[in-house]
Structure 1
Amino acid sequence: MRHPRPPRHIRKRQAALAAAARVIPAVKAKQLFDVFLVLDIEGTCNRGSDFDFPNEIIEFPVCLMAWQDKDVDMRASQLEVVDEFRSFVRPTWRPTLSDFCVELTGISQEQVDSAPTFPEVVEQFESFLTSNGLIDENGERLVRFCWCTDGPFDIRDFIVKQCFISMIPIPHWLKGNVCDVRTLVLQSINRDIKAGKRLSKAYFQSTNRRLLNISTQLEELGLPMFEGRQHSGIDDTRNITRILAELGRRGVPILPNTTVEQNKRWPWMGKRGQVLEEYVK
């Protein structure tokens, strides 16, 4: 999908930020985690629905990133994508996508109709993790890896809801805290501002971090514009990896910073796997 060319004043700002980013040298910092699993889920939705809606996952994309230059002191700066996993997912509670959902995500009804269910995707992804040496046959972690998402929503909301609807436990390898990349970017920018390095649009948005979307994060870090289709799970995920790679290059420690409530519950949750329709708008 082609995006319209931004106005001249925005292009000038992007060029200035990019120039500023280029003069920032790579900094090797101590990095406690070896591997990062970058995830940006797409789920079913209706126009006007919010995070209280019983969304079902319809796209599960993950980019696996690893340090390429980590030394014996655990210091590194070069973070790269080494593998990808992507699967569409067939919803089962409400298998028909809304027109709004199709328009927003670009995912068609035909793509989800022919896709595996979420429990099947979990099995496929476990094989992906095993083949990359991240977990053993029992699902136990073999290396220090961290999940990274744009906000806490993907695991805290989408995963928890989907496991309830699919009547499966949350996989062991999905438990634990998460690196909220949006928060990491905001903290990094605000540190620069306090140090007097530059003024940033993010400074004025810090009271409303929802405004710091993926496109704005790229701009604030002086990176080229969003690549691909926004709200495509795999494209969102790939752009988040660009952000993480730049943060790693700048010496920002990439660590879990968000507590995920694995036992979160919503009013529409009835017995195991049951969605109480009277609570659904």
Structure 2
Amino acid sequence: MRYPRHVRIAKKKKALTTTDPAVPNTRQPYDMFLVLDVEATCHLGTDFNYANEIIEFPVCLMQWMDKAEDGTAATLKVIDEFRTFVRPTWRPTLSSFCTELTGITQEQVDEAPPFADVLDDMRNFMVKHGLIDPITGQRVKRFCWCSDGPFDIRDFVVKQCFISRVPMPDWIQGDVLDVRMSVMHWLSLQTTQFTIPANRTMNGAMRRSLNIPAQLKALGLPSFEGRQHSGIDDTRNIAKIITELARRGLCLQPNTAIYPGRRWQWMGKRGQILEEHLV
């Protein structure tokens, strides 16, 4: 059927100005996403150069609900969660600042498994969902780790593997989807002007950034649910942001390089921490 010319023009304008969010129109290279937001030991005045130990390891596993044969998809859903507290071994006593910030108590970490056991449990979780081979640990599906900023894997996991004297597993190596960077990229593509607040970095430079509540607000999503700096609550809210980015047609793929061999000055030999080099 061929519509009259004035109807065709109207339909063409409508197609250019509206989109149906339920219709997948972006090819998505990854099948599943592991959203991670760890919590770690800290003291008032310390920064990312400190020898932080992970004390909460939460993951939201997300999967496409509508991926077509051509790879297009738009609807993501959390299909399972993994969460455990982690017992620190170098400095096992939490600071009052750390407990106040994260809500994690000394009793919770005292009763938790050490990090090496957490990695085993996480591996079993990934095998259960068919992400990795149960024998070799090699990837079976195309999955991507996601975090708010690069810090969780780039800093905390790399440092914790060193402190715990365990190799960084192959299934957590590789580049990461920095959700914060993706949100800022999306905002930069919009015709409406959006001012992103600037944070000062350690060397005094200014870096544009948005925390999780600000990302939710920028995307028109409901306010943060839960307690900020609770790992599992942070992870769930990040998953909502990723879901919205997918609905808006953003291609979800790694955008941040991670280096498992990264080292800090306080790292000695075989997991030794040189306290004289701690900031």
Unaligned runs of 5+ in 1: 1-22
2:152 aligned residue:
154
1:102 aligned residue:
99
Q: How far off is 1:24 after superposition? A: 6.4
Q: How many residues align?
A: 253
Q: Secondary structure at the match of 2:59?
A: strand
1:245 aligned residue:
243
Moved over 3 A (4+): 204-207
CA–CA distance in 2 between the matches of 1:131 and 1:34? 16
Q: How far off is 1:201 after superposition? A: 3.2
1:230 aligned residue:
228
Q: Secondary structure at the match of 1:243?
A: helix
Q: Aligned partner of 2:144: which letter?
A: C
2:27 aligned residue:
30
1:279 aligned residue:
277
Q: Aligned partner of 1:44: which letter?
A: T
Q: What TM-score comes out, normalization by structure 2 length?
A: 0.88
CA–CA distance in 1 between the matches of 2:259 and 2:141? 23
Provide Cα deviations, 1:105-150, integer angstroms capped at 9, x if missing partner.
0000000000000000000111100000001122110000000000
115, 119, 125: which one aligns with 2:116: 119
| Bigger radius of gyration | 2
Aligned Cα RMSD in Å? Answer: 1.3
Q: Aligned partner of 2:121: which letter?
A: Q
Q: How far off is 1:280 after superposition? A: 2.0
Q: How far off is 1:77 after superposition? A: 0.4
2:208 aligned residue:
209
Which gives a bigger RCO, structure 1 or 2 (Cα 8 Å, sep 6+)?
1
Provide Cα deviations, 1:247-278, integer angstroms capped at 9, x if missing partner.
00000000000011111100100111100111
Q: Secondary structure at the match of 1:82?
A: strand
Q: Secondary structure at the match of 2:171?
A: helix
Provide Cα deviations, 1:145-176, integer angstroms capped at 9, x if missing partner.
00000011100110010000000000110110
2:42 aligned residue:
45
CA–CA distance in 1 between the matches of 2:194 and 2:154? 30
193, 203, 218: which one aligns with 1:199: 193
Provide Cα deviations, 1:28-81, integer angstroms capped at 9, x if missing partner.
210000000000010000001000000000000000000000000100000000
